Amino acid sequence: MLYATFVNLLVVIGLQVFTGNANLTNFLHAAFMGIAAYAAAICVPPAAMKAIALPDAPWGLNVFALGPWASALVAITITGVLGLFTGIFVARLAGVGVTTVSIAILVIVHSIFLHRTKIFKGNQALFGIPQVPDWPQITVFVIIAIFATRWFRDGRFGLQLRACAEDEIGAREMGVNVFRTRLMA
């Protein structure tokens, strides 16, 4: 129970970085959380377990297994690349455009998770995934995330992001690169 609470706290802290500072409703965090979770969940189970859980997985996804930290690194890399790619488009939008595009991408990601059953199992659960961080480790992650979020919020980019939220034209006139600031968040 404590583990799930800390994971949810990390999600809320991640939402604060962009949505809280930019004052833009963005649903991409849910999509990226799912992408990272599936990427790690596909990489970490033992190959014998994946042969049972994902017998028809393409690209040889069911014949290898990575360690938990390597799986996390793969998941973060995949999510980061996809986040950068989508961020290039979403960071140029404002207001309801951000919300609309992020919902559309979330629906696309959800449909892929649901209908690509050879990789994601559809409505069925993947099994054999170890729970690696114990509660002291996840506590440290949460504390680091809280301090990093606070550092971002009180730093130059957090101030610029909040300025863009308050008055985008005024922020541009003061020399703030709105696109870069939103993309970094």
Closest CA to 38 of 2, 82, 1: 82
Query: What does the pLDDT read at residue 78?
Result: 93
Q: How far apart are CA 39 and CA 54, in angstroms?
A: 13
Q: What is the pLDDT of residues 67-85, one digit of tens each?
A: 888 888 999 999 999 989 9
Closest CA to 183 of 161, 166, 163, 167: 161
Q: How far apart are CA 63 and CA 74, in angstroms?
A: 16
Query: What does the pLDDT read at residue 151?
Result: 92
CB 98 within 8 Å of CB 24: yes
Q: What is the pLDDT of residues 103-159, one digit of tens each?
A: 999 999 999 888 877 777 776 777 667 766 777 888 888 899 899 989 988 888 888
Query: What does the pLDDT read at residue 53?
Result: 75
User: What mean pLDDT comes out for the span 148-174?
Assistant: 85
CB 3 within 8 Å of CB 131: yes
CB 55 within 8 Å of CB 121: no
> Is 42 a residue whose pLDDT tops 90?
no
> Is 63 a residue whose pLDDT tops 90?
no
> Is 50 a residue whose pLDDT tops 90?
no
CB 103 within 8 Å of CB 24: no
Q: At what angle do helices 96-115 and 68-90 cross, to 10 degrees?
A: 140
Q: How far apart are CA 27 and CA 129, in angstroms?
A: 26
Closest CA to 92 of 154, 33, 163, 164: 164
Sign of CA dihedral 97, 100, 104, 106: positive
Q: Where are the domains of the chain?
A: 17-133+177-184
Query: What does the pLDDT read at residue 182?
Result: 80
Query: What does the pLDDT read at residue 27?
Result: 85
> Is 97 a residue whose pLDDT tops 90?
no
Confidence tier at 167 by pLDDT (50, 70, 90): confident
Query: What does the pLDDT read at residue 65?
Result: 79
Query: What does the pLDDT read at residue 80?
Result: 92
Q: What percent of the chain has pLDDT over 70?
A: 95
- Annotate 135-154 with three-state secondary structure: HHHHHHHHHHHHHHHHHHHH
